[in-house]
Chains A and B, each alone.
Chain A
Amino acid sequence: DTGVSQDPRHKITKRGQNVTFRCDPISEHNRLYWYRQTLGQGPEFLTYFQNEAQLEKSRLLSDRFSAERPKGSFSTLEIQRTEQGDSAMYLCASSPRGLGYEKLFFGSGTQLSVL
């Protein structure tokens, strides 16, 4: 168990640029989640995958956001035409089967700053 890893740890970009984040979940975990956390707030759900299928997207996930999980392994989250309001920490988490009582294993997040 090497844990959930996220890359990069920090990203600074200019408004209007596109950015992509990567998440590598624990290898045997079927469920993968993306959350967004702004300063002083709790994480907010963005989307989740069951294997390679994206099963739910939050209203927070505008058309500028897209997430993929090809082959049910790692996942990418892309933000197009970034805005200053996108500045936040983006957290990835995984769990074995996605059952309600399961513990989520979180990565250390990608901190995005949009200038």
Chain B
Amino acid sequence: AQTVTQSQPEMSVQEAETVTLSCTYDTSESDYYLFWYKQPPSRQMILVIRQEAYKQQNATENRFSVNFQKAAKSFSLKISDSQLGDAAMYFCALSQGETSGSRLTFGEGTQLTVNP
């Protein structure tokens, strides 16, 4: 069985500053994918960024980047130049490769507050 753990229930950041959200996971598979999804008050989950486990290079999407440490099974999200619109619940998620399709295991979430 796979697990995803987010140890920070809440985080806050000042507008324009940088914040890092933590995530650790456990899986026995060698082929898997990691994701960060954002859930704003509208409740609709939106993909922020994704990482293929076989790629050593960390993924980046504009102001969002990850620090993927495969040996440590760690997958943190860094948000640079934080904006008010970044305030949301952030979920780390794991997909166990092609055999399970896109079935995701989610962490508990981190509520991010952005202070003006």
Give A residues with C-beta under 8 Å from B: 31, 33, 40-45, 48, 50, 56, 89, 91, 93, 95, 98-104, 106-109
Contacts and interface: CB of A to CB of B under 8 A. Distances in A.
Given A41-B108, A104-B45, 19 more contacts: A33-B102, A40-B9, A40-B109, A41-B109, A42-B91, A42-B106, A43-B106, A45-B104, A45-B105, A48-B103, A56-B103, A99-B102, A100-B31, A100-B100, A100-B101, A101-B33, A107-B44, A109-B43, A109-B44
Contact of B47 (A41, A42, A103): A103
A31 B103 CA distance: 10
30 contacts: A31-B102, A33-B102, A42-B91, A42-B108, A42-B109, A43-B45, A43-B104, A44-B106, A45-B103, A48-B103, A50-B101, A56-B103, A91-B45, A95-B101, A98-B101, A98-B102, A99-B101, A99-B102, A100-B32, A100-B33, A100-B95, A100-B96, A100-B100, A100-B101, A101-B50, A101-B52, A102-B101, A106-B44, A108-B43, A109-B43
- B-side interface size class: 20 to 34
A43 B101 contact: no
Contacts, number: 69
A6 to B, nearest CB: 10
Interface string B25-61: 0000001110000000011111100101000000000
Interface of B: 4, 9, 31-33, 42-47, 50, 52, 91, 93, 95-98, 100-109
A97 to B, nearest CB: 8
